[in-house]
Amino acid sequence: MGLEKRARMNRHPELLIPASSLEVLKVAVIFGADAVYIGGEAFGLRAKAKNFSMEEMAEGIRFAHEHDVKVYVTANILAHNADLDGARAYFQELKEIRPDALIISDPGMFTIAREVCPEIDIHVSTQANNVNYMTFRFWEAQGATRVVTGRELSLKEIREIRDNIPDTLEIETFVHGAMCISYSGRCLLSNFFTGRDANRGACTHPCRWKYAVVEETRPGEYMPVYENERGTYIFNSKDLCMIEHLPDLIDAGVDSLKIEGRMKTALYVATVARTYRKALDDLAKDRALYEQNMPWYLEQIVGCTYRNFTTGFFYGKPDESAQIYDSNTYQKDYTYLGIIEKIDEDGYCVLEQRNKFSVGESIEIMKPDGRNVEVTVEEILGEVNGVFASQESAPHPKQGLRVRLSKCAEEMDLLRRQEE
């Protein structure tokens, strides 16, 4: 192994995890994130996510910083004229709560952020179509500290970018989750079909719908949409997963490994964060340990809502096997029940219900350290008008609960149930 490659392999990349709410941010932090990216109530590309009020954002930043975790705030819409005055006021508010970076794609938004809060780092979003080293150099000259690669890049191209930009400019790359279609997510389908602009945060994900084509001279004959080696990449069904290829990402010079999913559940975030955290830590200790534990990583990574997986464009242009449209619905092995807020003085787990479960059921405690502990629900006390009373099941969404389990749990443990 050459000195340059050895130096790359000694890098410790950041694990960057999405969070749709304050609860999910805390889960991401506890389950292994080095950094978390979130959206406010405006100017991000996930308008349908719960997102953060300014007060929640401030609390989330405090919580993350107490655990030595960074927080990045998305402001990556493609701004129209009417957005600019509001953006300036928004950045002024962010200036007060001091996130570690802003994620921006639009040059106008970038300019305003540099004027209003020059002390906050700016990361250039994948929405800016960053696919060559001259683009990276351009953004570095404007003051960016990090650039997110376009999803169309191969590892070879990323490595070439790394070799042609300053060491101080960081490279961030999506390594797991949904693959936006069109060009780095600049999609027109949502606007066309529903009037909701994907480039301004209101995507309805029409690329996930099932389609058939009708030829005008053959009405009633529905031909399924699929792709072969001659086809273009219009619809996407498989999710990106690079957990088996972390050494290649590190060798290519990637500084931050980004997980997609700012609209995903706490269970998804906990599962993916915990699995990639352990994989990265194992790899840092010993390549053989990482390879030895690969079956565990793969077993865990499918323990939440997911699609079939692909390595995307990292190893060259995907063929038709990487985009299969006959099975584009999500599969589900576990159901999220809730996260333990605290253990009270009587030993009950205090939580807010997320899905129904009952006394006598076998469920799992999912722990940040990688353990999954099977337990039995022994007692449920549900809150009604401020009073807790015994009940046989917890069918009501977001009901406050005190639950006794057959084995001890801890604050921030996650509860889930395996489905048949």
Residue 396 CB neighbours (<10 A): 14
The answer to whether 72 and 37 have CB atoms below 8 angstroms apart is yes
Instruction: Round to whole Å and give the CA distance between 177 and 239.
Output: 5
- Residue 37 to residues 17, 64, 278, 309, Cα–Cα distance (Å): 6, 11, 20, 23
- Tokens in use for 362? 């076998």
- Using an 8 Å Cβ cutoff, are 406 and 378 in contact? yes
pLDDT in tens, the chain (420 residues): 454 554 555 568 999 999 999 999 999 999 999 999 999 877 654 444 457 899 999 999 999 999 999 999 999 888 889 999 999 999 999 999 999 999 999 999 999 999 999 999 999 999 898 999 999 999 999 999 999 999 889 999 999 999 999 999 999 999 998 876 554 455 656 655 676 655 555 677 666 666 666 767 777 766 555 554 433 334 455 788 999 999 999 999 999 999 998 778 899 999 999 999 999 999 999 999 999 999 999 999 886 655 678 888 899 876 555 554 444 445 567 899 999 999 999 999 999 999 999 999 999 999 999 999 999 999 999 999 889 999 999 999 999 999 999 999 999 999 999 887
How much is the pTM? 0.84
Report the pLDDT value the prediction gives residue 41, as an integer from 0 to 100. Answer: 76
Residues in the chain: 420
pLDDT at 208 (0 to 100): 64
Structural domain boundaries of the chain? 3-183+235-322, 334-418
Highest CATH level, class, for 3-183+235-322:
alpha beta
Q: What is the pLDDT of residue 230?
A: 33
Q: 159 in helix, strand or coil?
A: helix
CA distance 326 to 324: 6
Contacts of 413 (CB under 8 A, 6+ apart): 339, 340, 365, 366, 367, 368
Sequence-ordered list of residues with C-beta below 8 angstroms from that of 138, at least 6 positions apart, any chain: none
Contact (Cβ atoms closer than 8 angstroms) between residue 134 and residue 111:
no
User: Which pLDDT score is estimated for 229?
Assistant: 40
Query: Which class in CATH covers the domain with range 334-418?
Result: mainly beta
CA 27 – CA 266 distance, rounded (Å):
7
Q: What is the pLDDT of residue 189?
A: 63
